[in-house]
Structure 1
Amino acid sequence: MNMKDRKSGIGFSIASAGEKMQQSGFAFFIYALFVILFMGLICVAVFFASVKGEEEVMVPQVVGKELSDALLEMQVKELYPKIILRYSDNPEDKGLILDQSPVAGSIVKAGKRINLTVSRGTVVDKVEDFKGWNIDDVKSHLKTLFAAMSKPLITLAEPLYEYNAAEAGTVLSQNPPAGKSISDPIVLKLVVSRGPENEKITVPNIVSLSLREIYSQMASSDLMFDFSAGETDANEPQIISQMPIANEVLSKNSRVEAVIGFPQAKGLSSTVYGIFKQTLPEYAYPLKMELMALPPSGGKSSSVVKFTHMGGSLSIPYAVPKNTVLILYVEGKEFSQITVRPSED
């Protein structure tokens, strides 16, 4: 073989090897691409498998069932309960499911939280001892205790009042007695003190007393004063007569009539004289009352007089600037109000 043929053979071998390498590289590229695509498909499949929604289930009916039974049913459905405790009207509801959300029959995904409202029983399960309490405090206590309940467990009957050495308004006895278990709504009956029987009061001499002195007498006396208007030559209001007269003996909370003389209006005086009158319910014992005055310019109200009263006809003399608002409070609650006008003097 000459040199020319040898060079030609070498050239052919190199060209052939190059073609094989090109074919082999292309095959490797195709193979690599196939592997990448295959792995990509696997990743996509795994991703969608992982984000696939939970199994849908139907929410069971658990209202009225014991909490333990409800939890078992939730577990079977792969639902997770959220417990909410609440007082209920019926003592027998304790531990029972009162409400659920979502409602029974709803289709939800497994793993969803279901709100379960569970009864923790009643606010109280026994009758309290109210002996020695003031009747008004008992009423306020029961109202607050059962404010969130549609039907209170304890309803207060009209109290029975009797004379007693205890302070008026004090609870003497109760039925049912303290400590009695409450299984159903009950009616609480109370016996309440009227105060000492036939306690006697000597009528004070109030003639010539000024308005300020009358207020002091009203605040300290166990008598009720009925005022009517008269006239006086004095420059300030004062009592000009009373009935019964001083030093007579009356039963506690009896009424004393008094005529208060008001001076004649002079010039451009802004003071208005008059008598605040109101008809109240009849009370079994004296209640705490207060007459407040709100000035015409607004601002803070001030106390005119504090006193106790059995109800019925009520009258209180006043001397205030015109357009003053007079407000009557009974046991701390507003009962009525008037705006004082010049024509009321």
Structure 2
Amino acid sequence: MDEINNIQPKEKEEVRKGFWQTHLEKLQASALNLLLTVVAAIALMCGVCAIVFFATVKGEEQVMVPDVVGKELGQALLELQDKELYQKVQFRYTDDPDDAGKILTQNPDAGAIVKAGRRINLTVSKGVIVDHVGNYVGEMLDDVKIALQTMFAGSVHPLIVLSEPSYKSDKSPAGTIIAQDPPEGTPITSPVKVKLIVSRGSEFETTKVPNVVGLSLGKMLTMMASSKIVFDFVPHIALEGERAGTVTKQQSFDSQYVKNYTHMEVEVALPSEQDKDVQGIFTANISRYPYAVSMSLVAAKDGKRTTLVSFEHTGGKVTVPYVVEHETELTLYVAEKQVAREFVD
């Protein structure tokens, strides 16, 4: 600075300008270097991020799904593990006992290209629901049918199929299974047909023939509920001297005792013109049964349901007297299953 002070004023001014210009140029150069450094750092960071991104996108190694259908579960798991694949296992029953423990299906299918670490869905057989014939003796036939239908619901080939049963007189209640073939405990290696012998009740059981002439339709319903006679009602328009809505004639037999559920024809007189209540005979043709089954006739009107009578019948032509209001729907049920309907105008 002393040198600057010794210089003439004009020269001194020029020296000062040169000094600050030099410093300014240095500052500009430093700023440029800083900018270049920042840009280089940003470029380096972007490069690193790009490398990480593409490494992530590339993901795990691509592998081919092996074919494990039909193989034992343990072997299938080893093959999947070798490919670095995971498994999700579901079990279900099959019709073939030899399938137990084997792979039934896989998803994705064999040959598919997936990333390592992918989960493969496997369906494995638990074998058959049952592996031997049960004991059905002493059970009711209908109960056994329902139980087997439920057990093999959805099966294409049920392992146990009931043959058409044979019926014989026995002291057991009608419908009771009294013998079976093959016997209880027989191993099941393939679908098997079970032959059953079913009781039709004692042929020696008899019932006394009731005298129903003169009874009203309402009292006949009460008689049906308690009697082991199958009444076949034959209607006609009341003749002169006959009282409408009553029994006018009944079939006669050589003995006052007949076998249980013997059919007896009963003639009923109906009015020529109906009043508020309609009197008539409900008629339906249904399947025949080897023994008497429970039935009921239900009347429905305006959402209200009433059971007119519950009785036992062997099927075929079923006739039931009724006294109901107009616009009533009558429904016949067999073992709680609807089989016929009739609308009363």
Q: TM-score range by the shorter chain?
A: 0.7 to 0.9
Post-superposition CA distance 1:248-275 (Å, at most 9, x none): 1111111222112223326xx2433322
- For 1:4, the equivalent position in structure 2 comes to 6
Distance 1:249 1:168 in 2: 20
Between 1:247-256 and 1:272-281, the stretch displaced more is 272-281
Which amino acid in structure 2 is aligned with residue 333 of structure 1? K
Match of 2:158 among 144, 152, 169: 152
User: What's the secondary structure of 1:195's corresponding residue?
Assistant: coil
Flag structure 2 segments of 5+ consecutive residues without an equivalent: none
Flag structure 1 segments of 5+ consecutive residues without an equivalent: none
Query: Are 1:283 and 2:285 counterparts?
Result: no
Deviation of the 1:247 alpha carbon: 7.1
User: What's the secondary structure of 1:51's corresponding residue?
Assistant: helix
Match of 1:259 among 262, 267, 270: 267
| Contact 2:218–2:322 (CA under 8 A) maintained in structure 1 | no
- For 2:318, the equivalent position in structure 1 comes to 314
- For 2:78, the equivalent position in structure 1 comes to 72
Deviation of the 1:244 alpha carbon: 1.8
| Residues 184-223 of structure 1 mapped to structure 2, 5 A cutoff | 184-223=190-229
Distance 2:255 2:327 in 1: 39
- For 1:300, the equivalent position in structure 2 comes to 304
| Residues 1-345 of structure 1 mapped to structure 2, 5 A cutoff | 4=6, 19-20=25-26, 22-230=28-236, 231=238, 237-244=245-252, 248-265=256-273, 269-295=275-301, 298-341=302-345
Distance 1:247 1:194 in 2: 23
289 and 39 in structure 1: CA distance in 2 versus 1, 3 angstrom threshold: same
Distance 1:63 1:336 in 2: 50
Distance 1:162 1:337 in 2: 33
39 and 312 in structure 1: CA distance in 2 versus 1, 3 angstrom threshold: closer
For this pair of structures, how many residues does the alignment match?
337
Distance 2:29 2:312 in 1: 117
Distance 1:226 1:308 in 2: 13
Distance 1:282 1:83 in 2: 49
Aligned CA RMSD, in angstroms, stands at 2.6
Deviation of the 1:323 alpha carbon: 3.5
Deviation of the 1:280 alpha carbon: 3.0
| Contact 2:174–2:291 (CA under 8 A) maintained in structure 1 | yes
User: What's the secondary structure of 2:135's corresponding residue?
Assistant: coil
16 and 313 in structure 1: CA distance in 2 versus 1, 3 angstrom threshold: closer
